[in-house]
Amino acid sequence: MAVSNATLKEAVDVLKKTGVRITPQRHAILEFLINSHTHPTADDIYRSLEGNFPNMSVATVYNNLRVFRDAGLIKELSYGDASSRFDFSTSNHYHAICNVCGKIVDFHYPGLDEVEHFAAHMTGYEIDNHRLEVYGTCPDCKEKQTNN
């Protein structure tokens, strides 16, 4: 857990530099995001932490996620469903999404940066970002389908 503790300290330092007060709730939400590899929704985070913070509301979670996003600590991912999901990893990476259960898994493929250059050349746009999602059935859902 040393890596996540160092990451947590760096994230707290970023928030402090932007003038954000570190409350116990903010600390817990941030720690949850750093240790989560599931791209949770605000409701997922709330349900996981509500036992430790009985006075915390879903609105508190949403507001803190907005603060973290604005500070550049997390990315907000919106896909076909109505719920945004949140990703602590802000490095360039892509997502494989299960059509059945909605699970999202990160993967890296550095060659796609060339797509931005090609798109800029072909369209004349100044390209500043891209996003890639691939959809399919995750191994768990595939196994359930096979066993039924």
37 shares its domain with 61: yes
Q: What is the pLDDT, as a whole number, of residue 2?
A: 45
Helix, strand, coil percentages, rounded to 5, for the chain: 50, 15, 35
How far is residue 12's CA from residue 24's CA, in Å, rounded to a whole number? 12
Answer yes or no: is 101 a known binding residue.
yes
**Interval 47-85: pLDDT, tens:** 999 999 988 999 999 999 999 999 988 988 886 666 788
Tell me what the mean pLDDT of segment 126-145 comes to. Answer: 89
Q: What is the pTM for the complete model shown?
A: 0.73
CATH number, domain at 117?
3.30.1490.190
Domain that holds residue 60: 2-87
- For residue 93, say whether it is annotated as part of any ligand binding site: no
119 Cβ contact partners less than 8 Å away, ≥ 6 residues apart: 125, 127, 130
Coil, helix or strand at residue 76: strand
Q: Residues of the chain with pLDDT > 90: what percent? A: 41
Q: Do both 28 and 98 map to the same domain? A: no
Specify whether 83 is located in the same domain as 102.
no
Tell whether the model's pLDDT for residue 135 goes beyond 50. Answer: yes
Domain count for the chain, please give it: 2
Name the more confident of 59 and 115: 59
- Determine whether the annotation assigns residue 130 to a binding site: yes
Please state the length of the chain: 148
Top-ranked range on mean pLDDT: pick from 61-70, 76-85, 108-117, 131-140 = 61-70
Please check whether residue 98 is in contact with residue 134, taking contact to mean a CB–CB distance below 8 angstroms: no
> Is 108 assigned to a binding site?
no
Is 117 known as a binding-site position? no
- Mark whether 81 and 99 lie in a shared domain: no
Instruction: For residues 116-140, give the mean pLDDT.
Output: 89
91 or 143: which leads in pLDDT: 143
Mean pLDDT of 5-9: 84
**Which residues make Cβ contacts (< 8 Å) with residue 132, sequence separation at least 6?**
94, 95, 109, 112
Residues 10 and 78 in one domain: yes
